A and B are shown apart, each in its own frame.
Chain A
Amino acid sequence: MANLAPTAPSTAAAADAIPRRPNAILQFIRQQPLGFAGFLVILLYVAFAVGAIWIAPYDPEAIDFSAMLAAPSPEHLMGTDQYGRDVFSRIVYGARTALAVGILSSLVGCSIGALVGAASGYFGGWIDTGIQRVVDIMLSFPIIVLAMVVVAVLGKWPVLGVDMNLVIAIALPFMPKMARVARSSTLAIAQMPYIDAARAGGYSHTRIVLRHIVPNIVAPYLIMVTAFIAQAILLEASLSFLGLGVTEPTAAWGLMLSGKSADFYREAPWMILFPGLAITLAVFAFNLFGDSLRDWLDPKMKG
């Protein structure tokens, strides 16, 4: 794109065809209003995650026996749980857990998947066959089943407050899906004359894959990353709900719905309503944004 820019003003048609940078964001807002709305919600969650200390009115782990199961009120916007912890504060801090695990696992899963897929498509032959066999087997399991097995295999392994075992468990099921997409993109690119040229130029396989193929699968990569963040948030919530993910007393949305919270259907429905709403809204926002991004970046993939 960059090397085409100087010629742009000369012909009107060419100028239309090339999305110029300053307009790109405005254009996205105009063409994809729903996607932009999703993006605004994502920004809100990011603000929650980054500014949790200033936004949350209470310490999310502070137990207050004088305010157990308090109904929503000006002091406790979304009420309190059975230990008197402020539900709103726990949701704000929960955004941190959800986004950290969601974004990290999606990036890890898609990056490894993309590399494996690109290698599979580029080298072909028995490497391709072998990788595709593994991919097929992995794709025949629901993502939560794969994640649960990995959680069972890996011990708890926190790095900077993020459970890396959980990140890996959630990243793993995304790898085969990304590998599929990366492979088919690579197969198309590998036919291009410039790849032959690069090979004739004596470049190594590593250089060709990293410098000539990978940049061309950036669009599908970005699309998959946003789509998987939504699924990763949902998966983290499900695992935490099952008691296999984030553990007490850390604030996590799925955890807020798990175990004992079901005993309080009658007394404290707010304990169930708000965390679920937080999950749904986050997944919804990432889905909307991801879909719009796909339509915008690659109209051919629409469907």
Chain B
Amino acid sequence: MNENSMDYSVREYIKEIGKRLPEWLKDKKEHKEILADLEEHLWSKAAELSETGQPDEISVKLAIEHMGTPQNIAKEYKRRGEPKYYITKELWPYYTRALGGVFAVIVTLVVIGLIVSFFTGNGSFESLIGGLITGIQSGLLISFAIVTIIFVALSHEGYFPEDFKSKKDLELMKELREKEIEDGVSAQPLRKPLKPFIKPGGTIVGGGIGLIFGIILLSQPFPTYMLLPDFIAILRIFGLITMLEGSLDISRGILGNRRPNTHQALHVILIPLKLSVIPLLGILMNHPEIFPFFSEPWIHVGIPVEFYDEYRAILSVIIAITCLTTIENIYNIIKIQKYK
């Protein structure tokens, strides 16, 4: 082996390592630096192993053997991050967020599909509910599998969240890190931890109940012949509103205490949705005669005129409560601002 063939062996070996380095490193300046370091290391080792102190045919071969296979060397660069099951601790929050986001999209799409099917008259109520459950179930399972496979693969390759950030963001992070170091080793900002702004479990259960109640009012799987058509129409609209509110609450529950911006946007959508109930209650107030009030056997007679005042008072209280719940949404929008 002459000098050229020694060079060739080293070059080929380094090239092989380069090919096997993780993808997130390949576009970076460090990629070249790592290979230059390893090449230099190889030549130093070969020089030491040689009897003359100068790398030769045998010592280069030995040095390559000592350094190990390119796969083994490259493998260490992929070992980044703390293992947490099969997904690294660094990627774990992004994994749960991705799952939450995808689940929310799937639930929304399936519910929209159900509404469309209902209004186009495709299928009975039972088949629609069956379709809803199957759709959500299979959608969640498939998306869970896909998202998990992607994140396991990314963890295996040693990706970190910052590998997906723009150069501008990385520069900003670097500046902040340097500032932290300048401020001292133990200079940790003391900040009182904020309480979680949402109880995900309760919100999902509440949203689920709202969703089911809304579906029942919308599809009306009960005898309606004794109700007046105007009241049936009001019930349907009310069901649709309740269903949408329930879906939004489920989405908020799935998001949990993350993405404050999305939470705020959902609260903004919830306000007009809640207020849209008031005109319906207004119609009921002005037309007490359409409210179901039966005499035996299931004959609609309407509320007796002497009870109109009480009836209107109850509806007024419901309107006031509705308005108060929208104030709660506004309060939440302000409160969540602190979590950004």
Instruction: Please say whether chains A and B are actual partners in one complex.
Output: no
B residues touching A (Cβ–Cβ < 8 Å)?
A: none
A residues touching B (Cβ–Cβ < 8 Å)?
A: none
